[in-house]
Amino acid sequence: MAELNKIGVVGAGVMGRNIALFFAQSGHQVQLFDVNHDAVTSALDAVGQTLARAVDKGRVSADDAAATKARLSAASEMVDLADCDLVIEAIVERLDIKQKLFAQLEEVCGAETLLATNTSSLSVADIFANLTHKDRALGLHFFNPAHIMKLVEVITAPPVSQIRCDDLVIYLNQIGKTAIKVKDSPGFIVNRCARPFYGEALAILEEGDFSAHHIDAAMRAQGFRMGPFELIDLVGADINLAASETMAKAFDFHPRYHVFDRLQRQVDEGALGRKSGKGFVTEDIKVELAEAEQQQIAERILATLINEAASAVDHQVAAPQDIDLAMQLGLNFPKGPFAFLAEIGLDRVREILAQLEANAPTYLKGRYRPAAALQGGKFDA
């Protein structure tokens, strides 16, 4: 594809300004627009502070920081984005507002301008449903902080040009990202395949045999930097609940995406994690687990992670190797689900899922049914 020289970013929040910073650092002219002009001024100030800290720590030279700042500018009106090669939206996660924005962008941008949404939860096809030229519209899901995190999910939805998507994947990889092409589907790769990491931990917690601290310890022993409850506390139980509810609705409330009462209660009680000062594991409690108990907890969560990833393969969301890479880069997992599958063994994973399904309460029946990819010999040794 032709080089993307000029980038437009709409939305001057944390995600938008960091996307703008990434492209400016990689040599692009970048214009940042927001309906709140003061937000753009604040965002550019924040970028300046980020660059100043990077200079102080020796991560970039003063000359490079100055050059990056010079490539960033404010767009006073949306029409200023007319000659951009790529415009990325990073605004509020509301379908109606995004649809309205892209209708406006289609009016002002040239016919060859690529239009991209940074949505993390909405259907890309739905966002672009009302556009006249859908063949130039796609998803670019960056991860926060966008100027540091390598992963970008490039989300394709017909009738976008697959050649354009493939070329954009190559281009993003050339300028420092690890871009993975993903089919438009609920949660894409990372947000979908991460659900069992939290959900199965909550299922174990509700059963009452192990505490949140026990469960986190078991997963850290498997090489995870943080356990599921540490991550919930870090991001916020309210954010995790919203994501869980979104996925449950998207999959017609299939028991694999069950929203557990324990998470809802945590939110109702205001125990949201670090931001509220109280969460699942905000108290520093030392726990001990026998090796057999560690394995019991870890294998159960890993088996459900593997099953969800295999379901994503069934739905042609992405290839197994891309799913593994996305989970490592997007969530800092020590291995991807299919690497864990190779380690644990397909027969053992099937055995764990069968036991869980046999013992599941009525409201979770079907949660542990193996994905077709695990049943059909696709991953047999």
User: For the chain, what percent of residues have pLDDT higher than 70?
Assistant: 99
Note if 191 is an active site residue: yes
pLDDT of residue 380: 67
Q: Which of 89, 106, 153, 299 is catalytic?
A: 153
pLDDT band at 34 (very low <50, low <70, confident <90, very high): very high
Looking at the predicted structure, is the pLDDT value of residue 206 above 90? Answer: yes
Looking at the predicted structure, is the pLDDT value of residue 381 above 60? Answer: no
Q: Which of 118, 120, 244, 307 is catalytic?
A: 120
**DSSP category for residue 29:** E
Note if 147 is an active site residue: no
Cα radius of gyration rounded to whole Å, the chain? 22
Q: State pLDDT tens for residues 148-184.
A: 999 999 999 888 778 888 999 999 999 999 999 999 9
Q: State pLDDT tens for residues 213-243.
A: 999 999 999 999 999 999 999 999 999 999 9
CB 110 within 8 A of CB 83: yes
Domains and CATH numbers, the chain: 6-183 (3.40.50.720), 191-375 (1.10.1040.50)
pLDDT band at 377 (very low <50, low <70, confident <90, very high): low
Q: Which of 18, 118, 185, 191 is catalytic?
A: 191
Whether omega for the bond prior to residue 186 falls within 30 degrees of 0, making it cis, is no
Note if 28 is an active site residue: no
Q: Which of 141, 147, 213, 214 is catalytic?
A: 141
pLDDT of residue 2: 61
Please report how many Cα atoms fall inside a 13 Å half-sphere around the Cα of residue 111, on the Cβ side.
0
pLDDT of residue 111: 83
How many CB atoms lie under 10 A from the CB of residue 243? 18
Q: State pLDDT tens for residues 257-284.
A: 999 999 999 999 999 999 999 999 998 8
Q: State pLDDT tens for residues 119-144.
A: 988 999 999 999 998 888 999 999 99
Note if 123 is an active site residue: no
pLDDT of residue 354: 97
Q: State pLDDT tens for residues 276-311.
A: 999 999 988 888 899 999 999 999 999 999 999 999
Distances, alpha carbon 159 to alpha carbons 32, 136, 206, 319, in Å:
28, 9, 44, 21
Cα gap 16→118, rounded to integer Å:
9
